[in-house]
Amino acid sequence: MRATIKDVAKLAGVSPSTVTRVIQNSSAISQKTKDLVRKAMTELNYHPNLNARSLVSSYTQVIGLILPDDSDVFYQNPFFPTVLRGISQVAADHNYAIQISTGKNEAQRLEAISQMVYGQRVDGLIFLYSKPDDPLVQLAIQHNFPFLILGKADSPFISLVDNDNIQAGFEATNYFINKGYKNIAFVAGNKELVVSQDRYLGYKNALKSHNIPLDENKVRFVSGFLLEDSSYKISKKFLKQDLEAIVTTDTSVAEGVVKYLNEANIKLQIISFDSVKPKLDIDAYVDVHAIKLGRVAFNTLHQIISDNKQGKQVCYRRVIPHTITEL
């Protein structure tokens, strides 16, 4: 026989209405009581009927995640699964489910997000990328729908959670300059993404601050189904220059570069960006703390959803610090 709210209340020593408020994650209930009730729910294997709850509370208890244009990148780059893990951990604490929006092209993705927004299938959206003049973001803005960008927004009135990627790019490049290197290449992912442009700007700023001329022949952006394949092919063409070190903007890109260097028996210093310790023969990486990004992103969106229900409009801009780790 399935457990009921009354069973949970009896085991936890609280009233059924308190159990309901815990399920709704009411701020009026203390954390101690929430923990007590959730423990009872676990022991009784009780699962609230979220569909019934949404009819009463007008919450769906679902958030939508919007993937980049090239959703293959989502599965290739360890950053995205790690962010998703952070989001999922906190979402579970709030009894939220996650719906991932996909599409082969922008038109399909726009249709998918339209169904989410118009059909009120989710309470809010997290965009797992950032690019200028995004029609998907514009749709959410036009309908005053709760959302945030995991990345840099092109408007000061859009909520976001991000690293300071300009500063991170600067420090990654400075890491090599401080070691006495001047011939430093830069290899990044999709040029259209703001994160690639920001890290590139940081690279340029670091060179400029040390009076090192920018040589665009040492700069490459790659895209495609497999970034490591693209960066491998590009490496064969341009890493024959007189180089000392390479800044790469993520592990997928670094994989292709390392593969070519190993085959060519060339030894260069490499730094990359990641959220977990890379299993690559590189010298250092910029840890962007993706799990924390995901956790903060959900908590921030949850607050935006609550604000929206109360008719409030607050812009949240939260920056997660990065660290450089030597390997």
Query: Which CATH number is 242's domain given?
Result: 3.40.50.2300
In a domain, 177, yes or no: yes
Name the DSSP class of 166. Answer: H
pLDDT at 225 over 70: no
Query: Based on the domain organization, do 213 and 147 belong to the same domain?
Result: no
Predicted confidence (pLDDT) per residue in 137-182, tens digit? 999 999 999 999 999 887 889 999 999 999 999 999 999 999 999 9
In a domain, 57, yes or no: no
Based on the structure, what is the number of domains in the chain?
A: 3
With respect to residue 208, please indicate whether it lies within any of the assigned structural domains: yes
Q: Are residues 175 and 270 in the same domain?
A: yes
Check: CB of residue 274 under 8 Å from CB of residue 66.
no
169 and 275 together in one domain: yes
Q: Are 219 and 186 in contact (CB under 8 A)?
A: yes
The C-alpha angle with vertex 208 and arms to 204 and 211, in degrees rounded to 5, equals 140
Burial of 202 (0-12, 13-18, 19+ CB in 10 A): buried
Asked whether residue 239 is assigned to any structural domain, the reply reads yes
Residue 26 clears pLDDT 90, i.e. is over it: no
What pLDDT shows up at residue 49? Answer: 62
DSSP symbol at 58: S
C-alpha distances in Å from residue 327, one per residue of 135, 186, 202, 261, 292? 41, 20, 22, 18, 22
Pair 148, 85 in one domain: yes
Bridge partner list, 326 = 284
Distance CA 8, CA 42 (A): 9
Tens digit of each residue's pLDDT (9 = 90 or more) over 234-289: 888 787 778 999 999 988 899 999 999 999 999 999 999 998 888 888 999 999 99
pLDDT digits (tens, 9 = 90+) for 2-13: 788 889 899 999
Domain membership flag for residue 266: yes
Cβ neighbors of 11 (< 8 A, separation 6 or more) are: 40, 43, 44
pTM for the model stands at 0.78
Q: Which domain holds residue 196?
A: 165-287
- On whether both 153 and 224 belong to a single domain, the answer is no
Domain co-membership, 170 together with 156? no
**196 and 274 inside one domain:** yes
Over residues 176-194, the pLDDT tens digits come to 999 999 999 999 988 988 8
